[in-house]
Amino acid sequence: LYVNMKILEHLLFPAPSRTMMKMEKNSPAAGSLAGKVVLPCHFSIMPASPTTSTHLRIKWVKLDGSEEKVVLVAQGGVVKVGQEFRSRVSVPSHPLSVGDASLMMVKLRASDAGLYRCEVMHGMEDTQDTVSLNVTGVVFHYRANTSRYTLDFPAAVEACRSIDASIATPEQLTAAFEDGFDQCDAGWLADQSVRYPITVPRPGCAGNLLSRPGVRTYGLRDPTETYDVYCYVDKLNGDVFYPPSLKDKVTWQQANEECEKHDAVLASPGQLFAAWRAGLNRCDYSWLSDGSARYPITIPRPQCGGGLLGVRTLYKYENQTGYPDRSDRYGDVPCLHPKSVGIDSSPPY
Ligand SMILES: *[C@@H]1O[C@H](CO)[C@@H](O)[C@H](O)[C@H]1NC(C)=O
Ligand SMILES: *[C@@H]1O[C@H](CO)[C@@H](O)[C@H](O)[C@H]1NC(C)=O
Ligand SMILES: *[C@@H]1O[C@H](CO)[C@@H](O)[C@H](O)[C@H]1NC(C)=O
- Residue 294: phi and psi, rounded to 5, are -150, 165
pLDDT of residue 24: 66
Together in a domain, 191 and 252: no
For a mutational test of ligand 1's pocket, the pick from 27, 32, 134, 349, i.e. the residue with the most ligand atoms closer than 8 A to its C-beta, is 134
Q: Tell me which residues have their CB closer than 6 angstroms to ligand 1.
A: 28, 30, 134, 278
Pair 276, 308 in one domain? yes
Tell me which residue has its CA closest to atom 13 in ligand 3.
148
The number of angstroms, rounded, from the C-alpha of 276 to the middle of its chain's C-alpha atoms is: 12
Nearest CA to ligand 2 atom 2: 145
Q: What local confidence, expressed as pLDDT, does residue 23 receive? A: 64
114 and 28 within one domain: yes
In a domain, 6, yes or no: no
Q: Is residue 256 part of a domain?
A: yes
Please tell me whether residues 35 and 63 are part of one structural domain: yes
The pLDDT, as a whole number, for residue 44 is 80
Question: Is 190 among the domain residues?
Answer: yes
Q: Are residues 214 and 242 in the same domain?
A: no
Confirm if 327 and 281 have CB atoms less than 8 A apart.
Answer: no
150 alpha carbon, closest ligand: 3
Q: In which order are the strands placed within the sheet that holds 89-90? A: 37-39, 103-105, 89-90
Q: Residue 48's pLDDT is what?
A: 52
Report whether 140 contacts 234 (CB < 8 A).
no
- Cβ atoms < 10 Å from Cβ of 132: 15
323 Cβ below 6 A of ligand 2:
yes
In a domain, 7, yes or no: no
User: Which is the closest atom of ligand 2 to the Cα of 323?
Assistant: 14
Q: Which of 111, 113, 93 is nearest to 39 (CA)?
A: 113
Strand residue runs (E) in 67-124: 67-75, 78-81, 89-90, 103-105, 114-122
Q: Is 249 exposed, middle or buried (0-12, 13-18, 19+ CB in 10 A)?
A: middle
Instruction: Please check whether residue 15 lies inside any domain of the structure.
Output: no
Whether 14 is in the pocket of ligand 2, judged by its Cβ within 6 Å, is no
Phi, psi angles (nearest 5°) of residue 114:
145, -160
Q: Which ligand is located closest to the Cα atom of residue 115?
A: 1
The DSSP bridge pattern shows strands 310-314 and 103-105 to be unpaired
Query: Are residues 153 and 242 located together in one domain of the fold?
Result: no
Residue 324 CA to ligand 2 centre (angstroms): 11
Give 332 Cα–ligand 3 centroid separation in angstroms: 28
Q: Kindly state whether residues 125 and 31 are assigned to the same domain.
A: yes
What is the model's pTM?
0.87
Q: Is 283 among the domain residues?
A: yes
- Between CA 324 and CA 329 the distance in angstroms is 10
The reported pLDDT for the residue numbered 346 is 45
Domain edge (last residue) among 117, 136, 155: 136
The atom number, within ligand 2, closest to the CA of 325 reads 13
User: What's the total number of domains in the chain?
Assistant: 3
Ligand 2 mean position, distance from CA 145 (Å): 6
Ligand nearest to the CA of 136: 1
Check residue 155 and give its pLDDT.
Answer: 98
Q: Counting ligands in written order, which one lies closest to the CA of residue 160?
A: 2
* Domain termination site, one of 177, 199, 233: 233
Domain of residue 182: give its range: 138-233
CA 28 to CA 75: how far, in whole Å?
A: 26
Three-class secondary structure of residue 76 per DSSP: coil
What does each of the 349 residues of the chain score in pLDDT, given as a tens digit? Answer: 444 544 444 444 444 434 456 666 667 899 999 999 999 998 887 655 555 556 789 999 999 888 999 999 999 889 999 999 999 999 988 777 778 899 999 999 999 999 999 999 987 788 899 999 999 999 999 999 999 999 999 999 999 999 999 999 999 999 999 999 999 999 999 999 999 999 999 999 988 888 999 999 999 999 999 999 999 999 998 999 999 888 899 999 999 999 999 999 999 999 999 999 999 999 999 999 999 999 999 998 888 878 888 999 999 999 999 999 999 999 889 999 977 544 444 444 3
Say if strands 286-287 and 193-198 run parallel, antiparallel, or are unpaired: unpaired
pLDDT for the residue 338? 79
pLDDT at 95: 75
- Please measure the distance between the N-terminal and C-terminal CA atoms of the chain and give it in whole angstroms: 37
CATH of the domain at 37: 2.60.40.10
**Whether residue 89 is found in the same domain as residue 185:** no
What is the 146 CA–ligand 2 centroid distance (Å)?
8
CB distance 199 to ligand 2 below 6 Å: no
Of 113, 136, 159, the residue that ends a domain is: 136
CA dist 49 and 238 (Å) reads: 52
Helices (H), the chain: 2-12, 95-98, 153-162, 170-178, 252-261, 269-277
Minimum-distance ligand to the CA of 321? 3
Ligand 2 nearest atom to the CA of residue 159, by list position: 5
Ligand 3 atom index nearest CA of 318: 2
Same domain? 228 vs 248: no
User: Which of 145, 315, 321 best tests ligand 2's pocket when mutated (most atoms within 8 Å of CB)?
Assistant: 145
